[in-house]
Structure 1
């Protein structure tokens, strides 16, 4: 046998882990404190896009605007589920891993904690002068008396032949354990809310009503255990919506207050009651909360077709194009017009002012001089009967639709319509009238059974982390001899030795009980 073969044979070979070994290693890694902290950080980091990127469940109009303005960016957002962060696959994976990690941390630590509670403090060392904190004094102090004085200072005490051992600060580990249990409680509460809760978004125009049914929502997002019968049977009508704006100064046009005046029926049999709905002050009925999340304008139009019949009349919610001035884009579709269907692209100006070039723009978000600009009119097939879904806020221009020539009102530039004015369509196709202005609000209704447990768990986590940070574990030992008493102390918490110095001096003072010869 060669030297190389002999050395290779004598070199110890590391045994392969095997499937069971790798599973054990993966479980230990997942349930380590380091992994739990990393997952908690990832969960917080993963929540950031949910506050920066508009979410479909909260702001569907902003999501639609991103698709219109930057479809490539919107496609990438959608690819990484950034429009639905909190229901995405990757967020759920982090959530479940953290949930598993916390359970794996809590169970063994609880067993260790219970064993520590039953364990008596260890016997006092023989040489207390070697401890980080030590003192001695002349006096006659019995073991039972020393134990009694330490118990009065809330120490756990153990005694022996000529010695006393005391320990304090178990609430530190209690706080640490409660903190982890509270985090687990928060995750459980979130999970319960996802299973048994629901959220829905709806747009309501002044004068219209809403009933809490699945069919009434523009977008409804139920938990997997939610059925149509789970919804609380309340309803309300939007009587009026008021917005107060700053009218002077540098912040002119800034919104100061929003108030939606509702007539609410808590149940089909309950009488109507008045309620003023404000931002961050939701309407709550048996745990179901309705939040005010947005508002805009809904100008009222009447369209008369070429046969003299009113083919359309009603308020049209408009999407906000400029938040500072509330300039809004509107689309009116008239599928019942004859001889051909009609469609209009319009722009609503709450406070219309003329520009130098002859155009018009809005100078203030409040409706001081409301006018509507007709940006385009079309006739032909709107494609509403094709079976393909269409947005009410966009107007498709299929090849078989004809764009009508610019609608002028005696000038070279299309003049906007004021309330009560109308414009005749060419070729005898009818007339468009601007008859008034209403406002719309967007609401989010949410039922989350895990909301209160999550709040209580979060409060418990705050108290627990305060306990674990503020409380120190420390031990005090006393040895009683003939006419002399030795006291020693140490801390079991890293970095807390300086804070224990004063407390140790007070303990010695209590034990000495007036004896002067203390060293």
Structure 2
């Protein structure tokens, strides 16, 4: 991924390309292949197509307890909120008592002043990444209820305060480690991998679907272009004579309906026996 860096230009910060290099195998025994996928260039292997839908940052965060033991180390997906990739996410540390949670804001490029006061990214590329974490403690998953991985349920958590009565916040730069207030351990901003949103599509019946769609379209065209007529014939005996009545009905206006009725009448008369007087 690359962004326009021309200072002062109207295209500053605009994306130039989104590419992902991946390794695929058509089957477990097939040889692996290196392929590149992009927004308008889906990945194909076997009967499967993979489309690139989105992307963002997933900072690797390490949390240690007060003894120095690692209680969490994993990439945390932060969802972009604007074109400069100001992103939000939640860090959940289960292996502590009480459990710890952090509401996070990530900016790929931000000054020290803005990181603490107005955490909004200045540029979508990772030129000067910063991470701002707000601390909570308590029960991460109240009553075992399911919750979003991107948000923190604080209904059964409390927010530690500083000596000035403000929420505890930790501002981190890439590679930086800071202590968690209250002798709760440390948190480290380890590295900055990226994540990609993918859509995997497998359509084994698309040929059959296409054929049925074409047949339905042909039927629709035929119903709109072919004139539909109905001809009614009634034959009865009256006073020793055979009376023949022929009528026609068309859907909509049909100036040739009369000719069609005449042709049917003539065909019937030709088949009737003639009596000479």
**Structure 2 length normalisation: TM-score?**
0.70
Partner Cα separation in structure 2 for residue 310 and residue 413 of structure 1:
21
Kindly state the Cα deviation for residue 391 of structure 1 after the two structures are TM-superposed: 1.6
1:280 and 2:35 are equivalent in the alignment: no
Kindly state the Cα deviation for residue 451 of structure 1 after the two structures are TM-superposed: 2.2
Q: 1:415 to 1:303 in 2, by over 3 A?
A: closer
Partner Cα separation in structure 2 for residue 244 and residue 356 of structure 1:
23
Match of 2:149 among 392, 398, 401: 392
Question: What is aligned with 2:104?
Answer: 346
- Could you tell me whether the CA contact under 8 Å between 1:407 and 1:414 is conserved in 2? no
Kindly state the Cα deviation for residue 366 of structure 1 after the two structures are TM-superposed: 1.4
SS of aligned partner of 1:396: coil
- Could you tell me whether the CA contact under 8 Å between 1:358 and 1:413 is conserved in 2? no
Question: What is aligned with 1:453?
Answer: 208
Size of the aligned set, in residue pairs, is: 224
Kindly state the Cα deviation for residue 367 of structure 1 after the two structures are TM-superposed: 1.2
Q: For 1:223-234, list aligned pairs within 5 A.
A: none
Partner Cα separation in structure 2 for residue 471 and residue 255 of structure 1:
53
Match of 2:158 among 394, 397, 402: 402
Match of 2:172 among 400, 417, 421: 417
Question: What is aligned with 2:28?
Answer: 268
Q: 1:460 to 1:363 in 2, by over 3 A?
A: farther
Q: 1:250 to 1:286 in 2, by over 3 A?
A: same
Kindly state the Cα deviation for residue 465 of structure 1 after the two structures are TM-superposed: 8.0
Question: What is aligned with 1:373?
Answer: 132
- Could you tell me whether the CA contact under 8 Å between 2:106 and 2:130 is conserved in 1? yes
Q: For 1:42-441, list aligned pairs within 5 A.
A: 243-248=1-6, 249-322=9-82, 324-337=83-96, 339-353=97-111, 354-355=113-114, 358-374=117-133, 376-383=134-141, 386-399=143-156, 401-406=157-162, 416-441=171-196
Partner Cα separation in structure 1 for residue 218 and residue 27 of structure 2:
40
- Could you tell me whether the CA contact under 8 Å between 1:407 and 1:425 is conserved in 2? no
Partner Cα separation in structure 2 for residue 378 and residue 300 of structure 1:
19
Partner Cα separation in structure 2 for residue 247 and residue 418 of structure 1:
22
Kindly state the Cα deviation for residue 257 of structure 1 after the two structures are TM-superposed: 1.8
Q: 1:406 to 1:460 in 2, by over 3 A?
A: farther
- Could you tell me whether the CA contact under 8 Å between 1:320 and 1:327 is conserved in 2? yes
Partner Cα separation in structure 2 for residue 413 and residue 340 of structure 1:
16
Q: Which runs of 5+ in 2 are unaligned?
A: 228-252, 255-277
Partner Cα separation in structure 2 for residue 378 and residue 368 of structure 1:
29
**Structure 1 length normalisation: TM-score?**
0.39
Question: What is aligned with 2:271?
Answer: none
Kindly state the Cα deviation for residue 347 of structure 1 after the two structures are TM-superposed: 0.5
Q: 1:363 to 1:413 in 2, by over 3 A?
A: farther
Q: 1:471 to 1:253 in 2, by over 3 A?
A: farther
Partner Cα separation in structure 2 for residue 351 and residue 406 of structure 1:
27
Q: 1:255 to 1:406 in 2, by over 3 A?
A: farther
- Could you tell me whether the CA contact under 8 Å between 2:81 and 2:87 is conserved in 1? yes
* Between structures 1 and 2, the one with greater helix share: 1
Q: Which runs of 5+ in 1 are unaligned?
A: 1-242, 473-493, 496-519
Kindly state the Cα deviation for residue 416 of structure 1 after the two structures are TM-superposed: 3.0
- Could you tell me whether the CA contact under 8 Å between 2:25 and 2:45 is conserved in 1? no
Question: What is aligned with 1:84?
Answer: none
* Between structures 1 and 2, the one with greater strand share: 2
